[in-house]
Homo-oligomer: A and B are copies of this chain.
Amino acid sequence: MKVTALIMAGGKGERFWPRSRVNKPKQFLCLTGDGKTMIQQTVERIRPLVDYEDIFIATNEKYKGLVKEHLPEIPEENILLEPVGRNTAPCIGLGAIHVRRKYEDAVMLVLPSDHQIKYKGMFINVLKDAIDVANEGENLVTIGITPNAPETGYGYIKFLPDHMIGRAFKADKFVEKPDLNTAKKYLETEEYMWNSGMFVWKASTILDSIEKHLPEIYGGLKRIEESIGSDDEESILSGVFESIPSESIDYGVLEKEDSIYVLPGTFGWDDVGSWLSVGRMRQANDAGNVVSGNAMTVNVKNCIIEGEDKLIAAIGIHDIVIVDTEDATLICAKDSTGDIKKIVENLRICNRDQYL
């Protein structure tokens, strides 16, 4: 069966402020040091399995120009615009009806646009396994990540070690972000994987599940599907998205389904959730610093310096992230990157929109 992909690229990425802005979120940034943006890397990674014409990009209307600029090979009609963000269930449903319209049915790789994957060959192998399981009946397949730490920032998937199809384990249940003690227990049992937010299924399978568990959303998707190519397409899309509820695919569909399989992904995954990821992804120098741009350091250790043209002179500091942009500079302790959103909030409250 035909293999297509839906890349979800509507995220705001406030955690990469000041490099990321409302008008240029994380997926459109070069963060890994190889000169390619996150979304370009995402597309490039799956090219061994999917043609450009079968890759759909779901994004916010305001990022249409950026998608075209970063991915000129993707046909314009494959850029699916969400009039408002309604979480992953409507977004994936929108992708699925476009796949159904084009091919009646096809396998869909559903991928975030802003993750980092180190071992690209292994990633392809896992996707191939997932495609096999998705093709074999009406299975919904998720890519899990084998945990190496009790992370509290991810959802977890409990799997049944003895129920397998191919290399995929049957999922027992989905659980939300745990507290630290719970996360530690999950790690000990060896029966949990992180939920990476990457999925593989047939368009028909996921649409059947949406119809079953989220009938209101499915009804809206049907109306959109029928309008595609008509004069009303845009207004119906807007009307439906305005009216349907926000719902994630995990909790709206997957938690309620039985035939979920999870494939362990051991391909060097990073969700690039903060500037600390940038430190992990790039080569540090002997002092533990990851430095780019115009910077000069004296006795600096374990810092991340993201400079641009302006000279950044750092002296005697350690474990700090410095990000310089044209109109704003961030100086943030590594253990405080979670507070970057407070700056963004504050800027919003103060109506300092030029920095958002």
* Assembly CA distance A340 to B317 (angstroms): 13
Q: Which residues of B contact A315 (CB under 8 A)?
A: 330-333, 336-337, 339-340, 342-343
On whether the beta carbons of B316 and A336 are closer than 8 Å, the reply is: yes
* Assembly CA distance A276 to B310 (angstroms): 24
- A313 interfacial contact with B, CB 8 Å: yes
* Assembly CA distance A299 to B343 (angstroms): 11
- Number of copies of this chain in the oligomer? 2
* Assembly CA distance A176 to B45 (angstroms): 67
- A296 interfacial contact with B, CB 8 Å: yes
- A328 interfacial contact with B, CB 8 Å: yes
On whether the beta carbons of B328 and A331 are closer than 8 Å, the reply is: no
Contact of A311 among B298, B310, B336, B355 (CB under 8 A): B355
Closest to A344 in B: B313
Which residues between 321 and 340 of chain A lie within 8 Å of chain B, taking CB atoms? 322, 324, 327-333, 335-337, 339-340
Closest to A321 in B: B315
A321 CB to nearest B CB, Å: 9
* Assembly CA distance A337 to B317 (angstroms): 11
* Assembly CA distance A308 to B37 (angstroms): 31
On whether the beta carbons of B314 and A328 are closer than 8 Å, the reply is: no
On whether the beta carbons of B330 and A18 are closer than 8 Å, the reply is: no
Contact of A331 with B313 at beta-carbon distance under 8 Å, contacts A339-B298, A346-B296 already known: yes
* Assembly CA distance A333 to B205 (angstroms): 58
Contact of A336 among B298, B331, B343 (CB under 8 A): B298
A330 CB to nearest B CB, Å: 5
On whether the beta carbons of B311 and A339 are closer than 8 Å, the reply is: no
* Assembly CA distance A227 to B299 (angstroms): 52
* Assembly CA distance A329 to B320 (angstroms): 15
On whether the beta carbons of B316 and A333 are closer than 8 Å, the reply is: yes
Closest to A332 in B: B315
* Assembly CA distance A347 to B316 (angstroms): 17
On whether the beta carbons of A296 and B347 are closer than 8 Å, the reply is: yes
* Assembly CA distance A330 to B328 (angstroms): 14
* Assembly CA distance A327 to B342 (angstroms): 27
On whether the beta carbons of B332 and A310 are closer than 8 Å, the reply is: no
Closest to A326 in B: B310
* Assembly CA distance A157 to B104 (angstroms): 94
On whether the beta carbons of A317 and B298 are closer than 8 Å, the reply is: no
Report the 9 A-B pairs with minimum CB-CB distance, sorted nearest first.
A316-B336, A316-B333, A311-B328, A315-B332, A313-B343, A314-B331, A315-B336, A315-B339, A298-B339
Please name 12 pairs of A and B residues whose Cβ atoms are closer than 8 Å in the assembled complex, sorted by A.
A296-B343, A298-B343, A310-B327, A312-B328, A312-B329, A313-B332, A315-B336, A315-B337, A315-B339, A315-B340, A317-B333, A322-B331
